[in-house]
Every structure is written in structure tokens, then in C-alpha cells.
């Protein structure tokens, strides 16, 4: 993707704060949100806040409630109880004002595939009550920045998935929102497309936008988010910076593989008792990971000695800093997986009695 800068019309230039009910430092404030779909309790008292100009990564598996939360915050759904404010405006009582402050790129794109890229941007500009010259100026800037100039006059259904995503994001920011909601912005993109999207998102934040980004990709949250909230079963089960979350795992992680599956039990017996944490075993790759607590190097030496004494051959025995995968294991008991395209993600559909970690 081409690297260029936005022209004068900066994203986030028009902050809603000048007309805010409260002159809050917080772009997003959420208190005890509950949302039901019939018998499904999709949001169970969600609380979090996002300071202006920062990125919140909302991380969680399928069905965790991420999209529901985004839809409530963007006024598309009414919560049963609780409160949420965007730039000081209540999402239920001041919905029209909220809509003027926000942009949304949903989980599936909202573009009109029968229209050209340029026409899609024009429509969004008109929906944002922008005048024609401004729409034209912003469209040209966005087409340039999102590397869609050559495709601008082609109908969007001829676009690749990555191009459609970029067009959707361009459309969501044409009105220069101060708070931008992105629901799984890189799902379905190839690794290059993902890197390109990250670059664009970083640029938006550098220009003052506040971002709430949902993702199933651990590396994405690690890369982009100032603060991460981990959502599972409609609740925030952990929050903090990526480093703080990694610290919750408790020290470094000891890791090794046991090539001979018949020796796995012997390996687990050998390391039992050298830490209070229980080891996680991935049955497929036969990789064992265990939190080493505060005494990593001591434990590494002890593990080598015991595994050797038990006659267990291991591969890649090492000590490493916890990843967000380990955080997931620690806070949810479910494992992280590797996607087809190689990115680490979270899914819960393969839960096993002894949580397995793949990678």
C-alpha cells in the first residue's frame, strides 16, 4: 500500500467536545451495560472507558459480545440497562449527537457494491451533511490515501476483499469523526493487507482520533492498542496495557515440545511440582507451556535436570516472556489458535477438558 499523508482535512479535526454535554477527557464511558437478545444475555454489565486520542482494543472470541457492544455504542442497539457516553453524549438520550461524533466500520462492510468507490464516498459525505466541494476534496484525499485512485470509478463489487475494507474505512471517516469504531477491521485480510490497515489506523490516531477496535487477533491488539480489554461471555474479564496483561500471567513461561507422544505423561510427571501453575498441553503439536512464576532461570535448570533424569527427549526447551495467548489461557482457560493465514487468534470452538494451546 502506498504511503502518503492526508491532506489538510485531518481526521479528528472536528472534535465533538466543543458541543459536549460534559467537557470530558474520556471519549467513551461505559457503565454496567446490559443487553439481552431474547434469552441470550449478550452484555452482562460491561464497564470501561477510553481516554480521548487513545486506542482501546476489545479482544475476545466469537460470541463474546464485541459486536453487540459496538452496536450499542454506535446507537444501533438500545441497551436494557446501564449507560454509555460518547464525547459526553448519552448513546440513548443524545443519539443524534452521538452519531455526529462517530464513524463506524462494521464487521461486514457497509459499502454499496453496485456503486463505484467514488460514489460510495459521495453518498457517505451527503449522509454526513457535507457540502459538495468538501465531499469532493475529502473523497480525493481518501482515495489517494487508501490507494484506491485507480479503482475509484470501478464498481465496488469488482474490488478485492482488502480494497472493499479500505473503501469501507474511508467511507467511515469522511465525516471526520472524533471517535471511530472498527469491528474486526482486518478479519479476512491477508498479512500484507493487515499491515497496510494497521498503518492507516496508526495514522488516524496520530491525527487525534479515538479508536475502539474489536479483534480476535492477539498480535493486532498488541500492536495497536494503548489499552486492551478482554471480553468473554459478555463481561470484561481483564483489562490493562498489553504489558500489564502479560504480567498477570506471573513471570516468564517455560516451553518445550515432546516429539514422542508416548513420553508426554512422563514429561508432565517430571515437571510436576517445580511450579504451582498447571502445565498446558497441546495434543496436536505436543507442546507444553507452564508459567514459571518469578523464578524462571532456576526453573529452567530444574526442568532440564528432571526431564533428563526421566529420559524424556524435548525440543525447544526455553523460557520466554508471556504472550497475549498466555494471557488468554490465564484469564479464560481457553486456548489461542493459529489462523490459516498464520495470525494468532482466539476461538472457543475447540475447547478441550485440559485447555490446549496451539501455536
Binding footprint of ligand ADP on the chain (CB under 6 A): 37, 40, 42, 60, 62-68
Please give the torsion angle defined by the CA atoms of residues 140, 145, 146 and 148, in that order, rounded to the nearest 10 degrees: 50
Backbone angles phi, psi at 354, to 5 degrees: -100, 110
Which is closer to ligand ADP, CB of 49 or CB of 107? 107
Q: Cβ of residue 177: shortest distance to ligand ADP, in angstroms? A: 21
- Residue 228 touches which of ligand ADP, Mg ion, none (CB < 5 to 8 A by kind)? none
Q: Shortest approach of Mg ion to residue 213 CB, angstroms?
A: 12
Does the footprint of Mg ion cover residue 67 (CB under 5 A)? yes
Q: 261 and 284 in contact (C-beta within 8 Å)?
A: no
Residues 6+ apart with CB under 8 A from 116: 152, 153, 154, 155, 156
Q: What residues does 289 pair with on adjacent strands?
A: 255, 280
d(CA 216, CA 199): 18
Output 137 or 235, the one with its CB closest to Mg ion. 235
Question: What is the rounded distance in angstroms from the CA atom of residue 210 to the CA atom of residue 56?
Answer: 8
Residue 153: contacted member of ligand ADP, Mg ion, none (CB under 5 to 8 Å, by partner type):
none
Shortest distance (Å) from residue 7 CB to Mg ion: 33
State which residue, 68 or 74, has the beta carbon closest to ligand ADP.
68
Residue 209's binding partner out of ligand ADP, Mg ion, none, with CB under 5 to 8 Å set by partner kind? none
Alpha-carbon distance of 144 to 136, in angstroms, equals: 12
Asked if 109 touches Mg ion (CB under 5 A), the answer is: no
- Of 230 and 299, nearer to ligand ADP (C-beta) is 230
In angstroms, the first-to-last Cα distance of the chain is 29
Site string for Mg ion, 291-310 (x = CB under 5 A): --------------------
As a whole number of angstroms, the distance between CA 167 and CA 148 comes to: 8
Q: Smallest gap, in angstroms, from Cβ of residue 41 to ligand ADP? A: 8
Tell the smallest beta-carbon distance from residue 229 to ligand ADP (Å): 12
Q: Is residue 216 at the binding interface for Mg ion, with CB under 5 A as the rule?
A: no
User: CB-wise, 67 or 314, nearer to Mg ion?
Assistant: 67
| Minimum CB distance to Mg ion smaller for 108 or for 297 | 108
Task: Tell me phi and psi for residue 211, to 5 degrees.
Answer: -125, 130
57 interacts with, out of ligand ADP, Mg ion, none, CB within 5 to 8 A per kind: none
By the 10 Å C-beta count (0-12 exposed, 13-18 middle, 19+ buried), 2 is classed as exposed
- Residue with smaller CB distance to Mg ion, 107 or 235: 107
Query: Going along the chain, which residue ranges are E strands?
Result: 26-37, 40-51, 55-59, 81-86, 89-90, 102-105, 179-183, 210-215, 227-232, 235-240, 253-257, 280-282, 287-291, 315-320, 336-338, 344-346
- Taking the complex as a whole, how short is the minimal distance between the CB of residue 63 and ligand ADP, in angstroms? 4
User: Which residue ranges make up the site for Mg ion (CB under 5 A)?
Assistant: 66-67, 107
Amino acid at each position: 500500500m502506498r504511503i502518503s499523508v492526508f491532506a489538510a482535512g485531518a481526521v479528528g479535526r472536528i472534535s465533538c467536545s466543543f458541543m459536549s454535554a460534559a467537557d470530558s477527557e474520556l471519549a467513551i464511558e461505559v457503565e454496567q451495560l446490559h443487553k439481552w437478545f431474547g434469552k441470550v444475555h449478550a452484555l452482562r454489565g460491561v464497564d470501561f472507558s477510553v481516554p480521548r486520542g487513545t486506542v482501546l482494543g476489545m479482544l475476545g472470541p466469537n460470541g463474546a459480545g464485541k459486536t453487540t457492544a459496538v452496536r450499542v455504542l454506535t446507537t444501533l442497539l438500545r441497551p436494557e440497562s446501564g449507560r454509555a457516553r460518547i464525547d459526553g453524549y448519552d448513546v440513548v438520550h443524545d443519539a443524534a449527537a452521538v452519531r455526529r461524533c462517530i464513524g463506524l466500520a462494521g464487521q461486514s462492510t457497509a459499502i454499496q457494491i453496485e456503486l463505484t468507490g467514488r460514489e460510495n464516498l459521495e453518498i457517505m459525505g451527503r449522509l454526513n451533511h457535507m457540502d459538495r466541494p468538501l465531499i469532493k476534496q475529502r473523497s480525493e484525499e481518501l482515495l489517494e490515501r487508501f490507494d484506491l485512485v485507480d479503482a475509484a470509478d470501478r464498481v465496488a463489487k469488482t474490488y478485492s476483499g482488502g480494497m472493499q475494507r479500505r473503501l469501507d474505512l474511508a467511507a467511515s471517516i469522511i465525516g471526520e469523526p472524533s471517535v471511530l469504531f472498527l469491528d474486526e477491521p482486518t478479519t479476512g485480510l491477508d498479512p500484507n493487507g493487515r499491515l497496510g490497515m494497521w498503518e492507516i489506523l496508526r495514522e488516524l490516531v496520530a491525527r487525534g482520533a479515538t479508536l475502539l477496535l474489536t479483534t480476535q487477533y492477539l498480535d493486532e491488539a498488541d500492536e495497536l492498542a494503548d489499552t486492551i480489554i478482554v471480553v468473554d461471555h459478555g463481561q470484561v474479564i481483564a483489562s490493562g496495557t498489553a504489558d500489564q496483561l502479560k504480567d498477570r500471567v506471573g513471570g516468564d513461561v517455560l516451553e518445550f515440545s515432546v516429539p514422542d507422544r508416548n513420553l508426554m505423561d512422563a514429561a508432565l510427571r517430571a515437571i510436576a511440582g517445580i511450579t504451582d501453575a498447571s502445565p498446558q498441553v497441546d495434543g496436536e503439536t505436543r507442546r507444553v507451556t507452564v508459567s514459571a512464576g518469578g523464578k524462571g532461570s532456576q526453573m529452567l535448570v530444574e526442568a532440564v535436570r528432571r526431564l533428563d533424569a526421566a529420559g524424556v527427549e524435548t525440543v525447544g526447551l526455553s523460557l520466554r516472556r508471556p504472550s497475549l495467548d498466555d494471557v488468554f489461557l490465564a484469564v479464560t482457560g481457553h486456548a489461542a489458535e493459529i489462523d490459516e493465514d498464520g495470525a494468532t487468534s482466539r476461538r472457543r470452538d475447540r475447547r478441550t477438558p485440559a485447555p490446549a494451546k496451539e501455536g
